[in-house]
Amino acid sequence: MASPSLSSSSIIMLAVITYLLGAFTGSSDAQLTTNFYSNSCPQLFFTVRLVVENATQVEPRMGASLLRLFFHDCFVNGCDASVLLDDTSNFTGEKSAVPNNNSLRGFDVIDQIKTAVENACPRVVSCADILAIAARDSVVLLGGPTWNVKLGRRDAKTASLSDANSHLPPPTLNLTSLISNFQNHGLNSTDLVALSGAHTIGLARCTSFRTHIYNESNIDTSFAQTRQSSCPSTSGSGDNNLAPLDFQTPTAFDNNYFKNLVNQKGLLHSDQQLFSGDSTNALVQTYSTNPNMFNTDFMTAMIKMGDISPLTGSNGEIRVNCRKIN
């Protein structure tokens, strides 16, 4: 017997119900969208950009710090703003993890953005989405490409110190381990090389590159000697002394990072590994001469990274204060 046909009104009602189930039950099918706050917070992008622009004008390095915050958030159980949570007497967050402690910065800028956004649209925009927008704006303000940021994430109510210690790739990894680490997050070797290009801005601590400049052969001798002048060989001495990841243009988002790798002037062991490995060498060389291709692949990789395990629908919450659970 033929099944009864549905009226057009019934079909529309089913479509609405399906949408609501996806949007409000935390379904894994719920999608991030670029217009998520178009109606609920139309001034969001202007508000975020204003704070980021001021912060990077005061200190251009802040752009790299905000970009790094987003990376360190997404690589630990997804882009859920867990990295922003402060430790309390009964809660341990991710800030004291080895890759984050005395290294991550920019939390005060995120606080400023959140305050401004809350004034404009109370309890509407997640801290996770603020991180994503701030990362994009930082790249643009330092001369890099722009892209449409996908939004709709919610904020985690938990954090994991152990996962932060194990999921974030240290600067000592070889190429095989780097590729494996990124694959574990759904990112391929092209994404690895493109995202590593973020090191065209920012600074690194002596403790992160000491072994590379003293004990390895795949580094330009004069470059190593220059870096040694401010990074003593003895552990514990000058650990927090800083050096630019891209010694040519450390506050400009460009492709000089890749030119440095070709000339064996990568500051980190993990950076120089990208040029040393057969599977990534060609891409490094291509980016060093083709900034447009780098920009395109970087945008693609940033969008992919922003899609890592977001909390949506009824999962998570919209934090009023990014540093603590509601």
pTM: 0.89
The pLDDT of residue 30: 55
Distance CA 3, CA 18 (A): 21
The pLDDT of residue 149: 98
**Binding-site sequence positions for heme b:** 199
Per-residue b or e along 265-288, where b marks 16 or more CB atoms closer than 10 Å to that residue's CB: bbbbbbbbbbbbbeebbebbeebb
Domains of the chain (ranges, CATH numbers)? 44-168 (1.10.520.10), 175-305 (1.10.420.10)
**Binding-site sequence positions for Ca(2+):** 73, 76, 78, 80, 82, 94, 200, 246, 249, 254
**Binding-site sequence positions:** 73, 76, 78, 80, 82, 94, 169, 199-200, 246, 249, 254
Catalytic residues: 72
> Taking the chain (326 residues) in consecutive chunks of 10 residues, what is each chunk's mean pLDDT?
43 40 38 96 98 97 98 98 96 95 95 98 98 98 98 97 97 96 97 98 97 96 97 92 97 98 98 93 98 98 98 96 97
Distance CA 191, CA 291 (A): 15
Q: Which two tokens stand for residue 267?
A: 């500051």
**Binding-site sequence positions for substrate:** 169
The pLDDT of residue 44: 98
The pLDDT of residue 28: 37
Phi, psi of 203 (to 5 degrees): -125, 160
